Structure 1
């Protein structure tokens, strides 16, 4: 069901757009028929179409209307207004990026500058239009520009260049199969040959132009060509044939109500009769031409008045429309501004409320986080206190072990010292049979004084209590021996000199010498206490 409704909607839109396009085409056809006879009515209709196109955002139609309005103003001699319409149309076409329409408008502006004798500006417009037509491969458009450029060279009496561009135009019109354009080019070349007094070539080209106009059923354009044929015949002395052609032009002009061509054809017939020395007929047609010319001027005056009134009304209406549009825009801006302010206030209120809620939520989350962090810190402090207590107890245990181990070493060494003294006294006696056995006992005792295993156990226990102490003391000297390290460790434990001498298995005098040597290795100053120095490490 939805698909059916959508299909009906699409068909309705297409029919509506088709109806609008057909209506626009019909209106443009009416405009073209009015431009020659009733330019004021055509201008009013174009203005109405322009307003409608603007209201429905149809930029292409709006631009075409402005272009046609510019052409009407140009034909009526209102050049400033014509240029204004052309420039406005050019701006619209450029915005829409409609290349062919933009090029066509540039061509019209080139013609405008040409007839206002601004040939440089005219050529600039032609070059721009030609470049666009070449991009779009528009043969008909290129032919029109080539023909216009040929006119420029003809105006400058550069006939070779004029013929070159007219031939280019003819080739493009022929390729595009556009008979009316080809007929106009033949007419242009006939005029050039006529200016050069090459009347045979002029007659041939005018005749070709007439044949094409007749094939295209363009009576209005053919009137001027027939008149040109009469001019060529008159200039070549064929007066009777000239009058026949000119009379054909007169009859067609009379049928179409073209007063300007009636004046031209009667003037030419008057000239022919004058050359034939038929003065009555010459006078008659001269007066008739003057009458038609007066009608043309009178008609032009009336049309100019009506046209000026239309222009005034259009300008007045445009000013009023502009004023109303500006007023409407201001009102729309005020309304939009008011709605925007209300929306902004609502949004601001929502943002403030949301931020407040978010702030409260963040504060609660922060409080919970701080509480959790506080609990975590308390737990960590508690764990650290327990760890410190454990380490303290472990250190005390190690210290006790070290003290016990040291006391055992001292006790063991004291015992050994006592035994060694006893045995040395026995050796001094004269009992020869026990002497060798006692010396072996003394030797064993001496070896037990420096047993490395005891010192390794002592060193391990010492490092557990005094961590990295040996690494620190080695920074003061690289010459320390293992005996020096043992002495430093015992001094670190703050043992008496007698106990240190007993543990090292040396006398107190030897201990004094060892302390002296250690002071020198540690680069200590004279008078500085060795024990205090080691205790401070």
Structure 2
């Protein structure tokens, strides 16, 4: 035992000696290099996907995943980009609608590193792509394997891929209970503090699944949680999710016959939709029409159905336009005198059904059959409705089949087809009983929701009253003693500050007034100097011309002064002089030239100069000297200007110009 300390020191020395001097092992350097390469490939593949270069994007991600070595221990950064690359690969496949090639690649992907660290993502992505490709059996088998795996610690991963699993169970497995279980798992993690940008969409989808299962209270809570998610997150609020959240809650209230609340939420969804390039607007208008129809307001229902049709056509939505026209035909079928109009609409849609999904084709067949029966074509109408009822059985759409059977039985009665009625009466009776039971459930759920809302409202009012009472007491106790002093101090300070502010304001206004007057005087003097200097120059040139003419006439044979005399001829303003003149004039009369151009669009440069000199009260002789032209030319220009301005005969041109351009006589 006495040698134990020495042995421990020796072991510590050996460990220190074997440690890499830089602190970075070769393994960590290799991880960093691989992560950098994969990150660059992920970024490049994402950019190619956004640029719709889907084949290139797929190859970039595939090459990067294939290049991953299988003999390393990945760090967190490398794991992150492996999973991001797989997620982006799935998105590329969805955007390109090319599912076979990515599925083949993922099925044959044998890299142990990916299978050991990202099998959770790999199973969910493969299942989702099989669902998109229509391979329902394979999709369900893969998602069952996914569901059997332990939940990851990362809340973001669990929420993202639980949503994907719920979608596969709902659309491929037609198992709404398993779909709900997956989404509930994501919601539970979210309530415990998990963060995910997909949570609003998941809660909205969970609300719709609850509604399908007639769990109306839970549906209302999920939809409300989705609304609060979007309302409380400014970044998420700019997306389309908030439209679906409000729309989903509105549709739930419609199903519960709470029409006023449904209409209120639908209008909120419409407002957000209009702000976001009309996303989902035609569907919202169609649902709003349904609300008005249930409220008995047929005119409003028809109006919003027509608006839905117009919006879907304007947005180029073929399926939306088809479904809205189909809904419009169903609306007309509720009025006996509009059955012919409904039949015309449906016959116009017949060729478009080839591009529609199976359940929409059955709805069309049902509506067309009803239209035929109401227009006297009993045989084909009954056959179409019976075919639709059988089709709903095949698709597992029991609610739609119940509605179809109800209309079919009514058609049997209306057309005295007793045998057919008796043959289907047993099922019809069960449908009625089921509908009665559903109505009772909906009424109870609506009553519960109203009660909960009223209870919550009362609790909020009580809490607000208690808070208000406490606040009032605190204010009365705290402020009672100092109110008078505070008022006196504030009033005194306000009076002093007011007087000081008024004094400063008056001083500032006086300074601004003096400065403005000085600037106007300077501009006026500058303008007068320009005019005076131009006139003096032209006068001086005229005098020189006269003297030179006398000299030339005296020495006609010995002196050639023509060139000199030509240079001394009076001229118009130079470009530089004119710009200076215009600048100075605009400082005094900023709107005069703009007013002239608005009154007379044909005004020339000479007309503008003449108007400016007239406003400055220059006589014809002064105008002639300033512009370097003869008085006759000035008179001719004045005559032309009078015609362009359409002045009445006998009016004074100078007065009219000053009135029109400056409001000064």
The structure that is helix-richer by fraction is 1
The structure, 1 or 2, with the larger RCO (C-alpha pairs under 8 Å, 6+ apart) is: 1
TM-score (norm: length of structure 2): 0.40
Larger Rg: 1
TM-score (norm: length of structure 1): 0.49
